[in-house]
């Protein structure tokens, strides 16, 4: 903008108007010029696990599947495989389903009450307190 504005003696605001860009948007772009484009994605940190560390935990669990995640964490530390906390070991193993050793029943929560198929098939009453002459029954 500045280059063409000086060559043609036309103000920058005129160029911005002709382009159909809001002034605030143009100056936000100008302020960001030369800055790395950082999306709303998480920026990798130094303490995050790398892929080879995750794979090392999974491979070690395959060798010793009967140990819990806490014991497994200390075993990986002692064997110089990878040095991570038990909570990190849990977060690596949980999404892969390796901590589910038992066959759990599916929950019936939210399925509702099964209504009886015929009359007198199932009785369902509510308990109520009735006040008769000042005495609750």
- Per-residue pLDDT of 38-49, as tens digits, reads 777 777 777 889
Helix (H, G, I), strand (E, B) or coil at 135: strand
Q: What does the domain layout of the chain look like in residue ranges?
A: 2-32, 51-96
**At residue 102, does pLDDT exceed 80?**
no
Confidence of residue 60 (pLDDT cuts 50, 70, 90): very high
Q: Beta strand pairing status for 135-136 and 131-132?
A: antiparallel
Average pLDDT in the 87-99 region?
92
Average pLDDT in the 92-120 region?
80
CA 134, chain centre distance (Å): 57
Give the pLDDT score at 83.
93
Report d(CA 93, CA 71) in Å as an integer. 13
Computed over every residue of the chain, the mean pLDDT equals 85
Dihedrals φ, ψ of 61, to 5°?
-65, -35
């Amino acid at each position: 903008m500045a280059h063409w504005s000086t060559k043609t003696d036309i103000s920058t605001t005129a160029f911005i108007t002709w382009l159909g860009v809001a002034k605030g948007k143009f100056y936000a772009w100008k302020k960001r010029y030369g800055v790395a484009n950082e999306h709303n994605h998480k920026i990798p940190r130094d303490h995050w696990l790398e892929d080879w560390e995750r794979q090392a935990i999974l491979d070690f669990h395959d060798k010793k599947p009967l140990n819990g995640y806490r014991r497994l964490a200390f075993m990986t530390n002692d064997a110089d495989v990878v040095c991570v906390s038990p909570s990190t070991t849990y977060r690596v193993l949980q999404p892969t389903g390796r901590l589910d050793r038992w066959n759990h029943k599916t929950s019936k929560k939210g399925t509702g009450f099964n209504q009886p198929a015929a009359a007198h098939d199932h009785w369902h009453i509510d308990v109520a307190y009735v006040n008769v002459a000042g005495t609750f029954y």
